Structure 1
Amino acid sequence: MKVCIYGAGAIGGYLGVQLALSGADVSLVARGAHLAAMKANGLKLLIGGEERVAHPRCTDNPAELGVQDFVIICLKAHSITGVLEQMKPLLGPSTRIVTAVNGVPYWYFYKHGDKLEGSTLESIDPGGRQWRELGPERAIGCIVYPATEIEAPGVIKHVYGDKFPIGEPSGEISADCERLSKLFEAAGLKAPVLDRIRDEIWLKLWGNVCFNPISALTHATLDVICTDPATRALAKAMMLETQTIAETFGVKFRVDVERRIEGARKVGAHKTSMLQDLERGRPMEIDPLVTVVQEMGRLTQLPTPAIDAVLGLVIQRAKVAGLY
């Protein structure tokens, strides 16, 4: 079983080390200094006070790798469209694409079962290219819960978490999902197969839609955002707008909004990924985390005043920094 991790950054690198050390036939697509360091010294993972080193095959040319059984996309969602051509040599008739990305994935309305069945979302899939060229029928959903970071080129630091829930867009418990779950389990990771993967996508997005842009605008960590009365109230307003939209699509939230905010507060002095990107001068993941919720609100004709205001501000912040 051949597995390619496309985008061996913080999360992709963590997966790569764990899978490689478990004996999986895994290859990594990366670039730049990170790729050079991995080729020279292997990929290092700092986890639980120890250092693990793996030597998976690494390349910036996916055509070298051939057709894969699973391609796990660990890129920032806004980067996917730009690498579709390079990804094609990895795809055979039975290849499954695992979308380990933040936000709403390109396949969202595949086997969704309502009037929007087969729709694409411009904010995350401009022109519907991912839908056409990757194919929604290949997709397996995946939510990324661990926090990791690149400590240095070729060195990944694990902060917390080991859970990657997966699921078919159709809700069926497929043989492919069970194979993938066992592969992750052998690597010391948790990948439960869910029959309602969209519920889990929205549960994570529920926090990202508010905490990420608010942190980028204020430079505050999660504990501060969730305890300051003003930013907590703004986050709650954005989350309630998001919940109304999601429930229109049949999504069920297994916790209430206050419990979700408390969960974020307990993470502590953590900088969101959007704030980290701003500080490091990297393109900010605004469209997959915030604009897409606004777009889905427009589809359902539901107002999103709090989301609209924060989105306008964070886009301007990103443009001023040259990161949008």
Structure 2
Amino acid sequence: MKICIFGAGAIGGLVGAKLALKGDAEVSLIARGPHLEAMRKNGLILREAETETTVKVAATSDAKELGPQDYVFLALKAHSIPGILDSLKPLIGPDTAVVTGQNGVPWWYFYKQSGAYENQRIEAVDPGGCIWDMIGPERAIGCVVHPAAEIEAPGIIRHVEGDRLPLGEPSGEKTERVSRLAEILVACGIRAPVRPQIRSEIWVKLWGNLSFNPISALTGATLEQICADEAVRAVARAMMVEAQAIAEALGIKFAIDVDKRIAGAAAVGAHKTSMLQDLELGRPLEIDALVTAVQELGRLTQKPTPTIDTVLALIRQRAAIAAQSSR
């Protein structure tokens, strides 16, 4: 069994380290820069609670060294995927499955989705349909990433919390390939339930990312601060209500209500969202998969998105100004 982690950052490094530690698969990681060099020299160091483990991993920046894989786990952010498609090609064989570990609306969302929108492509996350055409939606396995991790230093991954990676076929079937992947992940200590409705899992996480991420980047507030401020919490709630109407128009059923979802975010405490962290580090912001795509789905389903539209306009300008300042 050959598994390649494409993008061995915090989450990719965490998953790759756990898979390599178990040793049941031939695991490789694609990375670059000082992080790659540190892994090559010292191995990948995984820190969890009070433990530290050094894992010898096969790490490279060139997929041509690896050849076709059984599974490719895409651990890059959604906006990075179009730029790595050519690099991805050597990893793709006739039966390769591609696990999509991105936040937000996935590029394959309407594949095997019966109804009026079947095979509809989403421009916000797949401009010109380039990902759909190169990877092929039939290869996609959906994955919702719940663990939190960070790169403490090149070659060192800190696992902060969480161990759940729900998986699901776009068709909802429990195929041999998704079942086998789940078994491999469970064997190395990752909870990987196979969900017949993976899109519902995607929306529950997206519900919070859509709202809390841009608000935090605009205000500099933590989740705790956003939820504690009545007026700001109301903005987040309005965005979530708009998104819920879109999702329900697409056949999604939410297992919890919006106020419980907000309470769950508040309980996380003084946590900076990934978008705020990216802003502070001068990285590109994950706007299109989290916000623009939801706006696009609103247009598609003819559901109004006035609050989403407003916050999207503001966060786009905030990102543009940040990008200019970093030049």
For Structure 1 versus Structure 2, the TM-score category normalised by the shorter chain is over 0.9
In 2: Cα distance, 1:208 partner to 1:52 partner: 31
Give the structure 1 partner of residue 2 of structure 2: 2
Give the structure 2 partner of residue 296 of structure 1: 297
Contact 1:215 1:274 in 2 (8 A): yes
Q: Which aligned pairs between 1:212-291 and structure 2 lie closer than 5 A?
A: 212-291=213-292
Ranges in structure 1 where 5+ consecutive residues have no aligned partner: none
Q: What is the Cα deviation at residue 52 of structure 1?
A: 1.3
Give the structure 2 partner of residue 15 of structure 1: 15
- Identical residues among aligned pairs (%): 60
In 2: Cα distance, 1:145 partner to 1:166 partner: 11
Contact 1:147 1:160 in 2 (8 A): yes
Give the structure 1 partner of residue 41 of structure 2: 40
Calculate the TM-score normalised by the size of structure 1: 0.99
Q: Which amino acid aligns with 2:7?
A: G
Q: What is the Cα deviation at residue 314 of structure 1?
A: 0.5
Q: 3-state DSSP class of the match of 1:238?
A: helix
Q: What is the Cα deviation at residue 48 of structure 1?
A: 1.7
Q: Which amino acid aligns with 1:207?
A: G
Give the structure 2 partner of residue 112 of structure 1: 113
Deviations 1:272-302 (A, max 9, x none): 0000000000000000000000010011111
Q: Which amino acid aligns with 2:163?
A: D
Q: What is the Cα deviation at residue 43 of structure 1?
A: 0.6
Q: Which amino acid aligns with 1:174?
A: T
Q: How many residues align?
A: 324
Q: Which amino acid aligns with 2:169?
A: E
Q: Which aligned pairs between 1:59-208 and structure 2 lie closer than 5 A?
A: 59-208=60-209
In 2: Cα distance, 1:314 partner to 1:277 partner: 13
Deviations 1:21-68 (A, max 9, x none): 000211000011111111111111110211111111000001100110
In 2: Cα distance, 1:166 partner to 1:46 partner: 25
Give the structure 1 partner of residue 313 of structure 2: 312
Contact 1:199 1:252 in 2 (8 A): yes
Q: What is the Cα deviation at residue 264 of structure 1?
A: 0.5
In 2: Cα distance, 1:182 partner to 1:34 partner: 29
Ranges in structure 2 where 5+ consecutive residues have no aligned partner: none
Contact 1:97 1:138 in 2 (8 A): yes
In 2: Cα distance, 1:252 partner to 1:56 partner: 41
| Runs of 4+ more than 3 Å apart | none
In 2: Cα distance, 1:230 partner to 1:54 partner: 47
In 2: Cα distance, 1:254 partner to 1:44 partner: 37
Contact 1:63 1:90 in 2 (8 A): yes
In 2: Cα distance, 1:114 partner to 1:33 partner: 47
Q: What is the Cα deviation at residue 118 of structure 1?
A: 1.0
In 1: Cα distance, 2:6 partner to 2:137 partner: 17
In 2: Cα distance, 1:45 partner to 1:282 partner: 24
Deviations 1:200-236 (A, max 9, x none): 0001000000000000000100011111101110100
C-alpha RMSD of the superposition: 0.9
Deviations 1:211-263 (A, max 9, x none): 00000000100011111101110100000000000000000110000000000
Q: What is the Cα deviation at residue 191 of structure 1?
A: 0.4
Contact 1:17 1:52 in 2 (8 A): no
Q: 3-state DSSP class of the match of 2:260?
A: helix
In 2: Cα distance, 1:193 partner to 1:160 partner: 21
Q: 3-state DSSP class of the match of 1:322?
A: helix
